[in-house]
Amino acid sequence: MSLSVKCPALMISAPSSGQGKTSVTAAIARYYSRQGLIVRCFKTGPDFIDPTILTQASGHPVLNLDTWIMGEEQCRTLLFNAALEADLILVEGVMGLFDGNPSSADLAELFGLPLLLVVDASAMAQTFAAIVHGLKTFRSTLFVTGVVANKVASAGHGALLVTGLPDNLPLAHFSKDSAISLPDRHLGLHLADEIHGLDDILNRWTDLVAGTWLAELPQAIEFKPSRSVVKSYPRLLSGKVIGVAKDRAFCFLYEENLLCLTEMGAKLVFFSPLNEAHLPEVDAVYLPGGYPELYAEQLSQNQSMKEDMKKHLSQGKGILAECGGMVWLMDALGTDDGKVFSMMGLLPGRALMQKKLAAIGSQQVLINGEVLRGHSFHYSTATIDASIVAQAETSSGHTGETVYQVESLVASYLHFYFPSNPAQVAQWLDPH
């Protein structure tokens, strides 16, 4: 195998969240995939929602890139493996270009990714050029290859935006059209399967790409393999069947978490707490986060699933629950409209939704002398009366989320990244 491989690539970033990064990334992905090219998309940072849209746009699984949670070499490996098969790599940034630690700019600099800037121009004219200039020149080690002016109202508006831009900086206009805008809510955009007519929207976006400089593949850049030996996952779950909750209420899943479980030897069986009456025959249950608050009444009425979960726990079988999955296991959930719904009753405590963000950011826990990393992002608060396994800390060293345990049930607001400590995850799922 050669020491490196070249592939056209772009990182799509912006001055802030809400500028249209996902829309532009999806538009480019769909444009080239419709031409028969293999497009591999990545999402910077811990995000479960945008990858579902990019997956539908590109037709391929979307992985996350976060050098703090995953490590630099893991990110390098994922990009290199994608470059071996792809005709184009697209990396959607997170928040604003320089926001966070690590930021999208840090990732672009580390892997030499050229930048495509997306700026919502709907409420500005000549100031557009000043914003672009600032982003382009703030860090000299970055290469900005072009700009998309999003939500442009008219040809006249587009002409004003050019004022002050460097002549050699390509500019593409995406028109303002509510009919092809993506809906959002408190945790971000809607999931792909919740957006009515998403394929039609994606196809209409390709018309915005056609005829612009984006319709030409970007320059190929070099991707190198990891500088360290890639570790294989221990076969700690061989022969185990793990039930993974997956529906509209429980949908926050890292693609790599599922891969980690299968490479440890587990067979995954997906089930829906919303739509199925019974838990399948499994050795362990993994409950990811999601939107239990949106389906609290329906979840509270699934008594047969509750009985199956109680029986599962009474048999000493493992349950690992994250964020929304943890909330479902509690005694009750209060929604932000003042209603209270009974939940599973397996984890003593109550959760309460609020309209403001309760926690966000990358965190890690130290378990048995080893680190397990992940992130927190939730709008609910909770009072829980259970044994504390560990106390997380944020990437900046502050106190983070708590990890709780009741018999063979382990739960936390943290969304764990399994590859950071697969042995600990296996121990939780198979506690015998």
- Listed in sequence order, the residues at least 6 apart from 2 whose beta carbon sits closer than 8 Å to its beta carbon are none
How far apart are alpha carbons 53 and 40 in whole angstroms?
13
Q: Which of 156, 206, 153, 200 is nearest to 175 (CA)?
A: 153
What is the number of residues in the chain?
432
Residue bearing tokens 């703090």: 68
- Listed in sequence order, the residues at least 6 apart from 157 whose beta carbon sits closer than 8 Å to its beta carbon are 121, 125
Q: Which two tokens stand for residue 32?
A: 């080239």
Answer yes or no: are the C-beta atoms of 263 and 221 closer than 8 Å: no
Q: Which of 333, 359, 356 is nearest to 344 (CA)?
A: 333
Q: Is 323 a catalytic residue?
A: yes
Catalytic residue annotation:
323
